[in-house]
Structure formats: structure tokens, C-alpha cells
Structure 1
Amino acid sequence: MSPSIAEIRTDNVGRAIVLTLITVGVFGVQDAMSKTLVQTYSPFQITMMRYWGFALFALILVMRQAPLRQALASKVPGWQVLRGVLLMADIWFFALALRTVPLGELQAITVVYPLLVTLFAIPILGEKVGVFRFVAVGVGFAGALIIVRPGGLPLDWGVLFALLSAAFYAIYIVITRKVSQFDSAPTSMAYAAIIGLVLSGAVGVFFWQPMGWVDFAMVVGIMITTCAGHGLMVFALSMAPASVVQPFNYFSLPWAIVLSAVVFGHWIDAISLLGAAIIVGAGLVVMARERMRKVAVAGTPTLPGTE
């Protein structure tokens, strides 16, 4: 059983929160660099080079825990391959959206993924979702509609790509929960690294363009921040449960708004900011309700239909 918050040392929880905030900051800088590069180079090329960094980091972690051949011995290889495809699709769509959608608005749209996880968990995991969480999900989607309202974001392919990125990532999270019942974390990490490496390379090679030294240095920076961000995330999750640090990932939204203003000179408008706040609020409510539901399952169940 996972340790309760009361059983976790307070100093470790504090460190985990700080590491989570630093992780979000690192990934935000990475997104800003990626957005700069995809204005000149194909998103598929940048994604391929970025994934090299992640795959290297993931495979090193895996091989420190078990031989690669042993890690690849999955009980549900079909689901693991699907996970890898979904993660790669999420990254591709996010990179495509970066071309036209400002960072602040892009983060505001993609943070709907926790709400989508709630919905996709129903058919894939057979979870039951009560009226309370359904209402919260509906409110969150209303926030997304406010952002893409008439006169808001231009309804171009970038907005669709952002929504697809959130959807594919949500399905990836749900399937990750499913395979965790059968396979170890190193197995899941190995499949994600190898499948993504193969797919990103198979597509990215056809979009290759020679790069100048400055742009290449920026790509190296993206690789470094990828490894650093995932490393910090691992440390954070080793100090506190995901349920404790997960809400702090929403720091990505104000951070993206600041980066968008400072680096690209674009400020999110007040109405879109309201929509983003509604999405974040709904997401936090769903997280809190999910946590209460798990506590209830461990103790006294809640009334049916109130989850």
C-alpha cells in the first residue's frame, strides 16, 4: 500500500514539490526552444532529435535496473507497443501545434488531459465516474471552449493538433495504468523509449534539414533539458506520491504565459486566461475527488454515483 501523507516526512514532501516546480520550469524552457526551432525546421526533425535525448536517458535508467532483454519481456506487448505509439503521436502533435499556437494558449488547451483521463478510464479500465466528476469534466471542457471561442484563438490546424496532443497523452496515461498491473516500470520505460526512437527516426529522417551551429546548440539544449527534466521528475516521485506533486504541474500554465510574453512578445488575453483558470480549477477538483475516492475505497466507501 502506498504511504499516506502523514507517513511521509514533511521535508521530503517539500523537496518533492520544489523539484516538481523546477521540472515544470525546465520543460517550459524546452518548449520555448522547440517553438523557436519549429519556425525554421520541420517539427518531425526536431521531435526526432529531442527523442534521442529522452530515449538515451530512459534506456540508461532501465539498464541500471535490469538487462534490456529482460526488461523487454512484457506480459502485454501489444498494449506496450500501443503506449509507445500514443506517446510519439502526442509529441508529434504538440510539436506541430507549437508552430502556430502561442505557448500560453497551448498549455491552457493541453492541460485538459487530466479531464480526458477521467473519461478514457471508463471504457479502457472499466472505472465508474459519478455525477460530481462528470460535472467537473464538463466545466473543464467549457473552459477550453472559452479559449477557442469566436474571436479567440484562430481555429486553424494548430488548435486541432493541441487537442489531439492532449487526447493521445490522456489515452497513453490510462493505458500506462493498465499495463502497470502486468509489467514493471523498467519494462514500460524500455518500450516507450524504443518504440518512440524507431518511429521518430523513421519519420524524421525524411524531413531532415542541415542545421546551423546556433540551432544545433539549441537542439542539444533541448536534449539536455529533456534528460534533466525527466531526472528531476524521477527524484521528485521518489520523495512523495504522484498524488501529492501532481497539482503543482499546473505551474506549467503561468510559466508558459510568462515565457510567451518574454520570449515571443505575446500576452494571453483576459478571456482566454479565464478559460484556462476554469480548466485548471476543474482539473484540481477531479484530482481531489479521485484522491477522496481512493481513500474511501481503502476505508468506508462513498455513496454510489457521488464519485
Structure 2
Amino acid sequence: MSAIVTEPQQDAVGRAIILTLVTIGAFGIQDAISKLLVQDYSPFQITMMRYWGFAVFALILVARQAPLRQALRSRMPRRQVLRGLLLMVDIWTFGMALRTVPLGELQAIVIVYPLLVTIFAIPILGEKVGIFRFAAVSVGFLGALVIIRPGGVPLDWGVGFALISAATYALYIVVTRQVSTVDSAATSLAYSALVGLVLSGAVGVFFWQPMGWGDFALVALTMVTTCAGHGLMVFALSMAPASTLQPFNYFSLPWAIFLSAVIFGHWIDPVSLLGATVIAAAGLVVMARERAKNASILTKAAAVTGRE
């Protein structure tokens, strides 16, 4: 009987992993198209147009779960607004970084965000980080220094924007964890959509430039990949826990390197690739330790419940 139950679960996890990889592929294509567009248009304009598509998609998802007025009832409304602001700063600065930093190197820098999540969770969530995890985080940051070393990625504003993007996305994740203890996923999604829609529009309208049909078609494609990516991730998370799927997000690095070589003719240099590998390895170690810690907590809780 156990085999009959386990096999479908394993099939579901396998499908979730495939969907996650497809999602990462869609987001990678979106980044490559955005890099092409920001060479001629302001990242604020491109972000505004992309967010129109995402906001409509997100609000449709919310409406299927609860009325919008009900979804906007938050027990932490200021934190929800802060989440929306952090997400917009992340997208804006990522777009600015796309102008000058090659896709492979950019992805290699921003994948430090899981390590930053570990650091930011200490003061914001009150989490405790052991020596082992702290050492892994330190090693990951050394990998980032290898990438932005003298003679590596050109030290311009693009690198600074990439680091800001990673930091604000990490803060966004930590604050999302915080509000998830009191608000539903529908509430968080509604705030992300509406706050981002208002902010991106309020800023992007001042950077508007007329756009040809070909470029407009590329923007429309980024809207499609954004909505498809988020939709596929929702399905994936319904089949498998986030802790199982999170390590596969590092597929974004080789995918970005491949797209950078094929579309832009740029290969990441071996030393930067080594630094990126160190960051990814450190991130996977931190994830493994967090997963083991959570499993230990659940085991202890189950043992206490059993004794009671």
C-alpha cells in the first residue's frame, strides 16, 4: 500500500522539478530580452510595461482565491507596502545592472541573495545562525569578491546596482517570511501587484520614449515569460515543497552563461566562473543546513506531541 501512495508523490515532485527548470528558463529569456531593450530604453520604462502584465496576472490569481477587498486586509499593511517597494527597487536596479554587466556575471553576483537572506534573518526574524552556516556564508561572499576583483567584471555602477538588487531581493524574501505568519499568500500577492503597479507607473511615466513595433513585441514577450514563469512556479509549489525546489534555482547561472554566449557572444571568464561556483556551493550548504534544522524542529515537535 505504501508503494501505491509514494509513487504518485515521487511523480509529482519530478514534475515540480521540471516545471521549476522551465520557469528558470523563461525568466532567463526574459532577462536576455530585457538586456537588449535597456540598451535603447530606460529600465524604468521597461519595468513599468512589464509590471502591467504581471499585475493583471497576479490580481486574476488573487481574485480566484478571495475578493480583492478581502485580500487587502493585512495585519501588517506597512510591511506589505515595504515588500512591494523592495521588489520594485530590486527590479529597477537589476535593469540598471543589465545595461553594462554581462548576463553570466550578473547572475553570478545576484545569486548571493540566499546568503544575504541568512544574514538579514538574524536581526529581522530573530533567527540564530550557527558557526557552520556563518562560515558557509563567509565563503560565499569571498566568491563574490572573486567575481568583482580588479581585472574581473568592470567596476562600474552596474556592479553596484547588481549588489543592491541582490540585497533588496534578500530583504524582500525575509520580510515576506515575516508577513506570511499573519497574512495569506493571496494578501501578499495582492500587495506586491498593486504597490508595484503604482510605483512602476509613477516613476516609469517620466522616462517614456516612443517604441517601435519590434521593440514593443519584445516587451510583450517579457510580459508573457513573466506571467508564464510565475504561473508555472505556482503549479510547481503545489506539487512539492519550496525547500525541495529551491536548489534547482541555481540552474539560472549556467542558463545565463549560455544565453550570454549565444545572444551576446560573451563567455564568462574562468576565474569569475570559479567565484560563481563557490557562491552556489555555499548557498546549497546553507539551504541544506536550514532544511536539516527545520526537519529537526518538526521531529522534536512530533515527539512532544506523541508524549502528550
Give the TM-score normalised by structure 1.
0.95
How many Å apart are 1:300 and its aligned residue? 4.8
CA separation of 1:143/1:88 partners in 2, compared to 1, >3 Å: closer, same or farther?
Answer: same
Q: Which residue of 2 aligns with 1:177?
A: 177
Aligned equivalents of 1:280, 1:88: Cα separation in 2 = 25
2:25 corresponds to 1:25: yes
- Is 1:149 matched with 2:149? yes
| Aligned residues of 1:144 and 1:275 also touching (Cα < 8 A) | yes
Q: 1:118-168 CA distances to partner (integer Å, 9 max, x unpaired)? A: 000000000000100000000000000000001001110000000000000
The alignment of Structure 1 onto Structure 2 pairs a total of residues equal to 296
CA drift of 1:7 comes to: 9.5
Cα distance, 1:297 vs. partner?
A: 1.2
Amino acid aligned to 1:121: A
Which residue of the partner structure matches residue 268 of structure 1? 268
Which runs of 5 or more structure 2 residues have no equivalent in the other structure? 1-5, 302-308
SS of equivalent to 1:299? helix
CA contact (8 A) 1:110 1:163 kept: yes
Counterpart of 1:202? 202
Residues of 1 paired with 2:261 and 2:235: CA distance?
30
- The alignment partner of 1:152 has SS state of coil
Name the counterpart of 2:83. 83
The amino acid across from 1:284 in the alignment is: L
Question: 1:305 aligns to what?
Answer: none
Q: Which residue number in structure 1 is paired with residue 230 of structure 2?
A: 230
- Deviation of residue 98 (structure 1)? 0.3
CA distance in 1, matches of 2:26, 2:267: 21
Using structure 2 for the length normalisation, give the TM-score: 0.95
2:15 paired residue number = 15
Aligned: 1:258 with 2:258? yes
RMSD of Structure 2 on Structure 1 (CA): 1.1
State the distance in 1 between where 2:8 and 2:75 align. Answer: 33
Q: Which has the higher helix share?
A: 2
Measure the CA separation in 2 of the matches of 1:300 and 1:189: 33
- Residue 242 in structure 1 maps to residue 242 in structure 2: yes
Supply the distance in 2 between the matched residues of 1:217 and 1:249 (Cα, whole angstroms). 28
- Per-residue deviation at 1:267? 0.2
1:66 aligns with 66
Return the alpha-carbon distance in structure 1 between the equivalents of residues 194 and 299 of structure 2. 41
Inter-partner Cα distance in structure 2 for 1:79 and 1:207: 28
Indicate whether 1:104 and 2:104 are aligned: yes
Instruction: Among all aligned residue pairs of Structure 1 and Structure 2, give the percentage whose two residues are the same amino acid.
Output: 75
- Mapped pair 1:35 → 2:35: yes
**CA distance 1:55–1:156, change in 2 (3 Å):** same
> 1:254-281 CA distances to partner (integer Å, 9 max, x unpaired)?
0000000000000000000000000000
Cα deviation, residue 62, structure 1: 0.3
